[in-house]
Amino acid sequence: MTSRLRPRWVLTGLLAVLVALVAGLAFGPVSLPPLDVVTDLLHHVPGLRVPTALPPRDDAILVQLRLPRVVLGLLVGSMLSLAGGAYQGVFRNRLADPYMLGVAAGAGLGATSVIIFGPRTALSSPVLVPLAAFTGALAAVAVTYLLGMAGARERTTATLLLAGVAVAAFCTAVQTFLLQQHTEEIQEVYSWILGRLTTSGWHEVLILLPYAVVASAVVLSQRRALDVLSVGDEEAASLGLHPRRVRLVLVVAAALGAAAAVAVSGLIGFVGIIVPHAVRLLAGPSYRVILPLSLLFGGAFLALADLLARTVMSPAEIPIGVVTAFFGAPFFLLVLRSGRRAAP
């Protein structure tokens, strides 16, 4: 298959984002006409004088409540998918996802600690829980990398994966101990762990946006290097590439984006497996194609999953992590089965 990013795939990805955006804004407990949603969005673009047909109440619902949530879903999905695609290339493993280096466990431990030991308003704070989760995720990744890649030169990516498993197990054990000792906070902790995209306006979007921009720029700049790494470290080194340096850059950048996403959304699994692998099946195995398209389709996928989460049992909401697991678990088994027939 071609290693070039064809325009038709880019247009398809942009169309998927647009459909997810309009659907996420139009449908909910209060449904709005999709065409009116589009004109209202154009109405708010500076310099455009497009009249809107929505009354002030519906305009407020659209701009102040739904738009930040949908944009947050697009950003979180993009980061988780991009990180998943990067990790699958770094570790040459199609089952790799953003949580394998301890991102989820570290974030969960950080969030649990601040919910239990912080002020009583910690869960509703737009700063404390995301900051604690972000710090915990990055700390776990740092420890994983130091344990997995320090020492002899012959250490492989398998060592890094095993270090990630050990760090994740340790963080999970500490988190379980804390919950056992503070059972009154279990409900608050699990409401975060199951994942959610509720927002307090644009605050969460502004928290995630700078990390998303930096992580995306760095990971996408290394997409050609990932294709070279796929032939093996020795061959890559003979072509002038520095495998350890490229791997470190990609691991750090992907972890930064995934940690920021987890910090504002909680733990949302399987996105980093479903989207990159689906892109690989449809558009080809080259990371020059997989990474940019994962960025687009990942955002669209999570925004649509959030739409399902808040409409299937409306007015109640299903945790978005439950929705992604519903689709992700069977897909994971499919990937696992196909992986036995072909090398990663």
Mean pLDDT of the residues in the chain:
86
| pLDDT one-digit tens code per residue, 129-156 | 888 889 999 999 889 888 887 654 555 6
Is there a domain that residue 217 lies in? yes
- What CATH number should be reported for the domain holding residue 43? 1.10.3470.10
pLDDT for position 342: 47
Residue 26 is assigned to a structural domain of this protein: yes
Per-residue confidence (pLDDT) for residue 119, from 0 to 100: 73
Cα distance between the two ends of the chain? 16
In a domain, 273, yes or no: yes
CA distance 243 to 135: 27
Between 313 and 93, the higher pLDDT residue: 313
Rounded Cα gap, residues 259 and 130, in angstroms: 9
**For residue 21, which amino acid is it?**
L
Tokens of 215: 């992580």
**Domain contains 49:** yes
Give pLDDT tens digits for 44-92. 888 888 888 889 999 988 998 899 999 999 999 999 999 999 999 988 8
Asked if the structure places residue 344 within a domain, the reply is no
Give the residue-averaged pLDDT of 222-230.
90
pTM score: 0.89
User: ∠ CA 5-11-12 to the nearest 5 degrees?
Assistant: 95
Three state DSSP letters for the chain: CCCCCCHHHHHHHHHHHHHHHHHHHHCCCCCCCHHHHHHHHHHCCCCCCCCCCCCHHHHHHHHHHHHHHHHHHHHHHHHHHHHHHHHHHHCCCCCCCCCCCCHHHHHHHHHHHHHHHCCCCCCCCCCHHHHHHHHHHHHHHHHHHHHHHCCCCCCCHHHHHHHHHHHHHHHHHHHHHHHHHCHHHHHHHHHHHCCCCCCCCCHHHHHHHHHHHHHHHHHHHCHHHHHHHCCCHHHHHHCCCCHHHHHHHHHHHHHHHHHHHHHHHCCCCCHHHHHHHHHHHHHCCCHHHHHHHHHHHHHHHHHHHHHHHHHCCCCCCCCHHHHHHHHHHHHHHHHHHHHCCCCC
Q: Rounded CA gap, 92 and 231, in Å?
A: 10
Between 317 and 220, the more confident residue is: 220
Residue 89 included in any domain: yes
Q: Is 70 exceeded by the pLDDT of residue 217?
A: yes
Residues spanned by the domain of 122: 7-339
Band of pLDDT at residue 1, cut at 50, 70 and 90 = very low
Specify if 1 maps to a domain. Answer: no
Please say if the pLDDT value at position 114 is more than 90. Answer: no
- Is 96 exposed, middle or buried (CB count within 10 Å of its CB: 0-12, 13-18, 19+)? buried
Residue 243: pLDDT band (50, 70, 90) is confident
Which one-letter amino acid corresponds to residue 137? A
Q: Are 32 and 25 in contact (CB under 8 A)?
A: yes
Structure tokens at 242: 């520095």
**Is 2 part of any domain?**
no
> How many distinct structural domains can be found in the chain?
1
How far apart, in whole angstroms, are the C-alpha atoms of residue 317 and residue 319? 6
Residue 339 has pLDDT above 70, yes or no: no
pLDDT at 254: 92
